């Protein structure tokens, strides 16, 4: 996470296709994916939902590990069981009821859409809890 004079933001994606992020809308539409709305929940309740979602998300054989949970920010690593590759995922809850996120592979060019599939699986876990995608699915 970056902090620009008190304004928190997530890192941008590298030029490789193995990253998706809500921060890419203006800069790079091929990496862009829409924010989620957690509605009128408190940030504490929304964070509890996120922690539950990330903790159970074993997508494409990647096992999650929660690394940092601080207030409105969550950072997790996802490690592949086969080759030991590690992907990074971070989430930032905004005061307006939106959640920004980024999921990216650390190395390589292609991820077989693992990051996109991970975000989709997390969204599907969160939807029954009142979360919604802002924009396309």
- Rounded to 5°, the CA angle 131-135-137 comes to 75
Contact 77, 87 (CB under 8 A): yes
Contact 10, 100 (CB under 8 A): yes
Name which of 79, 80, 76, 51 is nearest 66 in CA terms: 76
> Is the per-residue pLDDT at 1 higher than 70?
no
Pick the CATH number of 17-128 from 3.30.310.80, 3.30.70.270, 3.40.1260.20, 3.20.20.70: 3.30.310.80
User: Domain residue spans in the chain?
Assistant: 17-128
Q: Please state the rounded mean pLDDT for residues 69-88.
A: 93
pLDDT at residue 123, rounded to an integer? 96
Q: What is the DSSP string of 49-71?
A: HHHHHHHH---TTEEEEEEEEET
Report residue 108's pLDDT band, with 50, 70 and 90 as the boundaries.
Answer: confident
Q: Please tell me which residue, 60 or 77, carries the higher pLDDT value.
A: 77
- Weakest-pLDDT range from 27-31, 46-50, 69-73, 115-119: 27-31
Report residue 93's pLDDT band, with 50, 70 and 90 as the boundaries.
Answer: very high
For residues 22 and 30, what is the distance between their CA atoms, to the nearest angstrom?
Answer: 11
């Amino acid at each position: 996470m970056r902090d620009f004079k008190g304004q928190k933001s997530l890192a941008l994606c590298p030029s490789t296709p193995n990253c998706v992020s809500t921060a890419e809308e203006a800069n790079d539409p091929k990496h862009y994916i829409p924010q989620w709305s957690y509605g009128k929940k408190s940030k504490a309740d929304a964070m509890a939902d996120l922690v539950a979602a990330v903790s159970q998300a074993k997508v494409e054989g990647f096992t999650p590990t929660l690394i940092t949970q601080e207030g409105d920010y969550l950072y997790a690593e996802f490690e592949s069981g086969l080759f030991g590759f590690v992907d990074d995922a971070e989430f930032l809850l905004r005061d307006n009821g939106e959640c920004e996120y980024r999921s990216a592979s650390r190395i390589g060019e292609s991820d077989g859409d693992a990051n996109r599939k991970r975000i989709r699986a997390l969204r599907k876990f969160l939807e029954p809890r009142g979360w919604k995608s802002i924009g396309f699915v």
